[in-house]
Structure 1
Amino acid sequence: MGNLLGNWRFKEPSTVEECDSTWGSDSESDEPAAEDDSGISDSVSPAESEWPAGNNGDLSPKLTDSPEFLPKMKRSFYAARDLYKYRHCYPSYKKSRQPNEYRNLRFYLNKIPLVPDGIYIEEILTRWRGDYDKLEHNHTYIQWLFPLREQGLNFYAHELTQDEIKEFQSTREAKRRFLAAYSLMLDFYGIKLLDKSGNVARSSNWQERFHHLNESQHNYLRITRILKSLGELGYEAFKAPLVRLFLEESLHRNTLPNMQHSILEYFVYTIRRPAARRHLLRYARQHYKPAHAFLWGPPPKRSKPKSGDVGASVGAGSSGIRAPAPTPEPQRRGGETSFIPASGCSGTFVSYHDATVCQDVDAESLNAYTPLGSSMDGPEGVFMMMLERNNYSGSVPL
C-alpha cells in the first residue's frame, strides 16, 4: 500500500466539468461534499442561511431563442483549473521551508519589511488607509498582505507553506493585523467589515469607490487573491458574505456591471464548500440577464438516446447551449470580467481577466505567458493590444 501511495501522481483535470464539483453533490439537504480537504473550519456566516436558495424544481435555464442564433459562450478552463488546484490545496505541493524562513509570518509580526519597497506592515495599516491613489498604483504590496501557496508576480514575496499557515493561524498578533489589512482593502473598494463573522456592507463613500472599482478592472485580480488568502489563513467563512455583496451590486443593483463575470468565474469558485457555492449561484441565476446565457448552473439532465438517433449522444453545456469544439490550450484561457467580442474570435466571447498576467497564475502557466506587446494570435493577443492602448502595459502586473 505504501508503494502504491508513493507512486501516486496528481492527474491534471482536462475539462471544466472535471474541475467543478459544485453540483455533483446537489441535494435537498445541501450537505457539504468531501471536496474541502484543507483542514480549515467549515464554518459559514450566519447570514448565509437566510440567503435565497433559488427557484424550486428544475434550475436549468430555459432557452427563449433558438441556439443557432445565440453567441458561442463557454466557461474558462484556465479559471476552472486554477480554482480547482486552490480548493484542493495544490496537489503538486512543495516541501516545507524551515521555520526561520517564514517570511510572511515575520512580515505580519512587523519584523521585516515588504520587498522591494522596504515598508513595514504597521506603516501600511496606519498610514495607507484612505490613501486610495497609493493603494491603486502600488503593485507590490498585495502579494505580501495576502500571501498564497502559489507564486505571484512580485518574486520577492514568498509562497506560503502548510507549516507556515498553521503557525500563522496560531499567532494572535499576525491574525489581528491580517484582519486590519482586509478591512483596509475593503475600505478601498467602498465596503466596511461589520463583525467577526465576516459580514460586510457598503461604506459611506460607496458610490465614489464603486465607480472606481467598476472601471479599474485590475482590482478584480486583487480580489481573487484576497479571497484565496482568506481561505488559506483561517477565514474561509469571510468569503461568502463578500461574494454575495458583489453579486447583489453587480447583478441586482447594477452598480458594478463590469464585475459580474469575474464574480461568477472566479470569486464564487474560491469558496471551498460546494453548498455555499450553490447558494450563491442560485441567487445569481435569479438576476442574471439574459437568463439563457447563465453558464454556471447545474448541467441539464441528459435523456437517454433513442436507438437509431444520429448524434444523440452529444450533450449541451450547463447553459443549454451546445458546446463548441475543443480549442487549443492557449485559446482556452478566456475567463473574466467583460463579455467583449474581439476580432478574430469567430463570435466567441473572451474577457479581460485571463488575458492579463495576474498574481494568481501558477508557475507552469507563468512560464507559458507571452509578455505584453509581443505578437499573439487569437483573443489573448487582441486583449494584450487593448491593454497596451489603455496604458496597462506600463504598470507592474500582479
Structure 2
Amino acid sequence: MGNLVGSWRFKEPSTVEECDSTWGSDSESDEPVAEDDSGISDSVSPAESERAPGHSGDTSPQLSDSPESAPKMKRSFYAARDLYKYRHSYPNFKKSRQPNEYRNLRFYLNKIPLVPDGIYIEEILSKWRGDYDKLEHNHTYIQWLFPLREQGLNFYAHELTQDEIKEFQSTREAKRRFLAAYSLMLDFYGIKLLDKSGNVARASNWQERFQHLNESHHNYLRITRILKSLGELGYEAFKAPLVRLFLEESLCHNTLPNMQHSVLEYYVYTIRLPATRRRLLRYARKHYRPAHAFLWGPPLKRRGGGVGPEGGVGAGSSGIRAPAPTPEQQRRGEDSPSSPSASSRIIVSSHNAMMCQDLAGGGHKGYAGLGSSMVGLEGTILMAGAQRDRNEYNEIVPL
C-alpha cells in the first residue's frame, strides 16, 4: 500500500477549468465538496517547480454597461494554477525540517529576528502600528509575518512545512501574535477586526486608507499572501469576511475600483470550500458591470443552452449564445442546401463574438445576427485568428 501511495504522481492541471472546482457539477447546492479545507494534507508538496506570477490592480480594464466598450478579457491560467496548488496543499510537495529549524515559529515566539532587518516580532507589533510609511515601503517583513509553503521575494524567509504548521497551530503564543499581526495589517488597509470569528468592518480612518490602497497595487499581492497564510495557520474562516468586504467596496461602493480584478481572480480563490466561493461569486455577479463580462460564473453547458443559475447566462468562460432563430429563419435554413446542420453549429463566446465582428469589419452593429453571420468556415478562421491576437494580463512575481 505504501508503495502504491508513494508512486502516485500529481497531474498538473493544464486549463483554467481544470484548476477551478468552484461550480463542480453546476449545482446550486451549497454543500461542500471534497476539497481540502484544512491547510494540511497527507500528501503535501514542494515549492512549485514553476513560480506562478502574481497580480496587479491595474490589469483590470475600466468597464461600462455599453456592449461596444466590452473588454476582450479572459481569466489568467497562472493565477488559477497557483491557487489550485494552494487549495490542494501543494500536491507532492514534501519537505521536512528539524524542530530547531522552524524559523517561522521561532520568529513568532520572539526568539529570532526577521532577516535581513534584525527586527523582532514584538517590536513590529508594538511600534509599527499606525506607522503607515514604514508598512508601505518596507518589503521584507511581509514574508515573515505571513509565512507560506512557497518562496517569496525575501529569500531569508523559510517556507512553512507541514510539521511546522501543526506545531504553530498548537502554540498559543504564536497564534496570539499572528492575529495581532493580522490586525496590524488590517489597520494599515483601513479595516478593523471585530471579533474572534474574523468579521471585519471599515475602520475610522477608512477613507484615507482606502484611497491609498486603491493606488498602491503592490499591496494587492500582500493581501493574497495574507489570505493564504490565514488558511495555512488555522484561520480559514477569516478569509470570507475580508473577501466579502473587498467585493462590496470594489463593486458596490466604488471605493476600491482598482482592486476589482484582484478580488475576483485571486482573493476569492484562496478560499478552500467551493460552497463559500460560490456564495461570494453569486454576490459579485449581481453587482458586476457590465454583467455580460463577468468571467467567474459557472460555465455554459456544452449542449442544451447553458443558462446559468438565477436565470442568467453564465458569462465569462461561458460567454453568450446566438439568439434562437425564428420559425421563418428555420424554414429558410432547412431549405438551403448550404446551411449547416445542428451538429455543426458553433456556440460563440462573448470575447470571440466581439473579436470576430471587429475582424469582419462590422464593428458591433451586427451583434443581434451573430448566430447566422458567424457560423461556418469563415467565422471559425476569424475566431482562431482572434484567439492568437488576444493579450494576456500582465503578470508579476508574487510576494
Q: Which residue is 1:191 aligned to?
A: 191
The question of whether the paired residues in 2 share the 8 Å contact of 1:40 and 1:234 is answered with: no
Supply the AA of the counterpart residue of 2:202. R
Structure 2 residue matching 1:192: 3-state secondary structure: strand
The question of whether the paired residues in 2 share the 8 Å contact of 1:38 and 1:88 is answered with: no
Distance 1:31 1:25, change over 3 A: farther
The question of whether the paired residues in 2 share the 8 Å contact of 1:37 and 1:89 is answered with: no
Q: Which residue is 2:147 aligned to?
A: 147
Q: Distance in 2 between matches of 1:303 and 1:288?
A: 26
Residue 16 (1) aligns with residue 32 (2) = no
Q: Distance in 1 between matches of 2:72 and 2:343?
A: 23
Residue 200 (1) aligns with residue 200 (2) = yes
Q: Which residue is 2:297 aligned to?
A: 297
Q: Which residue is 1:179 aligned to?
A: 179
Structure 1, residues 44-100: CA drift from partner, whole Å, max 9, x if none? xxxxxxxxxxxxxxxxxxx9859xx85421100000000000000001313211111
Structure 1, residues 152-171: CA drift from partner, whole Å, max 9, x if none? 01000000001000000000
Q: Which residue is 2:110 aligned to?
A: 110
Q: Distance in 2 between matches of 1:123 and 1:22?
A: 41
Q: Which residue is 1:233 aligned to?
A: 233
Structure 2 residue matching 1:201: 3-state secondary structure: strand
Structure 1 residue matching 2:90: 3-state secondary structure: coil
Q: Distance in 1 between matches of 2:212 and 2:255?
A: 11
Q: Which stretch has the larger CA shift, 23-32 or 103-112?
A: 23-32
The question of whether the paired residues in 1 share the 8 Å contact of 2:215 and 2:258 is answered with: yes
Q: Which residue is 1:357 aligned to?
A: 397
Distance 1:316 1:220, change over 3 A: farther
Alignment of 1:154-165 (within 5 A): 154-165=154-165
Q: Unaligned stretches of 5+ in structure 2?
A: 42-64, 306-338, 356-386
The alpha carbon displacement at 1:40 in A equals 6.4
Q: Distance in 1 between matches of 2:204 and 2:70?
A: 41
The alpha carbon displacement at 1:321 in A equals 3.9
For the pair shown, the structure with the greater C-alpha radius of gyration is 2
Alignment of 1:274-353 (within 5 A): 274-303=274-303, 308-309=341-342, 311-312=344-345, 320-322=350-352, 348=390, 350-351=392-393
Distance 1:72 1:177, change over 3 A: same
Structure 1, residues 217-265: CA drift from partner, whole Å, max 9, x if none? 0000000000000000000000000000000000000000000000000
Supply the AA of the counterpart residue of 1:238. F
Supply the AA of the counterpart residue of 1:168. F
Structure 2 residue matching 1:93: 3-state secondary structure: coil
Structure 1, residues 168-207: CA drift from partner, whole Å, max 9, x if none? 0000000000000000000000000000000000000000
The question of whether the paired residues in 2 share the 8 Å contact of 1:165 and 1:233 is answered with: yes
Residue 74 (1) aligns with residue 74 (2) = yes
The question of whether the paired residues in 2 share the 8 Å contact of 1:25 and 1:33 is answered with: no
Structure 1, residues 295-344: CA drift from partner, whole Å, max 9, x if none? 000011222599934644x5556xx544999xxxxxxxxxxxxxxxxxxx
Distance 1:309 1:91, change over 3 A: same
Distance 1:168 1:315, change over 3 A: farther
Give the structure-1-normalised TM-score: 0.73
Q: Distance in 1 between matches of 2:9 and 2:340?
A: 40
Structure 1, residues 6-26: CA drift from partner, whole Å, max 9, x if none? 221111100000000000144
Q: Which residue is 2:119 aligned to?
A: 119
Q: Distance in 1 between matches of 2:398 and 2:33?
A: 30
Q: Which residue is 1:263 aligned to?
A: 263
Q: Distance in 2 between matches of 1:75 and 1:281?
A: 14
Distance 1:216 1:262, change over 3 A: same
Supply the AA of the counterpart residue of 1:236. E
Q: Distance in 2 between matches of 1:86 and 1:5?
A: 21
Q: Which residue is 1:88 aligned to?
A: 88
Supply the AA of the counterpart residue of 1:94. K
Structure 2 residue matching 1:302: 3-state secondary structure: coil
Q: Unaligned stretches of 5+ in structure 1?
A: 42-62, 326-344, 360-398
The alpha carbon displacement at 1:3 in A equals 3.4
Structure 1, residues 87-140: CA drift from partner, whole Å, max 9, x if none? 000013132111110000000000000000000000000000000000000000
Q: Which residue is 2:34 aligned to?
A: 34
Give the structure-2-normalised TM-score: 0.73
Structure 2 residue matching 1:30: 3-state secondary structure: coil
